Amino acid sequence: MRFTKDHEWIELIGDIATVGITAYAAGQLGDVVFVETPDVGKTVKAGDPLAVVESVKAASDIYAPIDGTVVEAHTGLSDEPETINQDPEGRGWFVKLKPGDPAQIDALMDRPGYEAFLDTL
């Protein structure tokens, strides 16, 4: 699992990468009450808005950690947005991407690197 400074995680299994938000991000957002996921087939560049999560207070964008094409969106989150708070780095995943360039994943922070980054915040 790799991490971005915007607090997304990405995990490559086979040739499909799963994307979600970190436990830290879920804690900062508070209770998620609404999720908007992208349509399958959408292509994104690293840094593009990929999904939206909303708490009582505010809406926040989730950004694509890498270039890719959406192959699956976790539409079940619409009915159970609390999954994101309960298990952000597991059942609370947002999107599965077919990476444009899998090497972009390796360039992201690993867990110790991300934890060191969190210590600077």
Partner 1 sequence: MNSQSSPEPILRTPLYDAHAAAGARFVSFAGYEMPVQYKDGVLAEHRWTREHAGLFDVSHMGPALLTLDHPTDDPEANHLAVASALERLIPGDIAGLKRGRQRYTFLLNEAGGVLDDIMVQRPEPGDKQGRLFLVVNAGTKTNDFALIEQTLAGTAKLTPLIDQALIALQGPEAAAAFTALVPEASELMFMQGRRIVWDGGVLLVTRSGYTGEDGFEIMVDDEAAPVLWDRLMRDDRVKPIGLGARDSLRLEAGLPLYGHDLDETVSPVEAGLTFALSKRRLAAEDFPGAARITRELAEGPGRVRVALKVAGAPAREGAEIATPDGAVIGRVTSGGPSPTLSRPIALAFVPPAFAALGTPLQAIVRGKPQAAEVVALPFVPHRYVRQP
**Which helix or strand (DSSP H or E) is residue 27 part of?**
helix 23-29
Contact 45, 14 (CB under 8 A): no
Assess 56 for contact with partner 1 (CB under 8 A).
yes
Q: Please report, as residue ranges, which positions from 11 to 40 form the binding site for partner 1 (by CB under 8 A).
A: 30-31, 33-34, 36
- How far is CA 50 from its chain centroid? 8
> Which amino acid is present at 88?
P
How many residues contact partner 1, by CB under 8 A? 12
Comparing CB distances to partner 1, the nearer of 28 and 116 is 28
Name the residues that contact partner 1, by CB under 8 A.
30-31, 33-34, 36, 52, 54-59
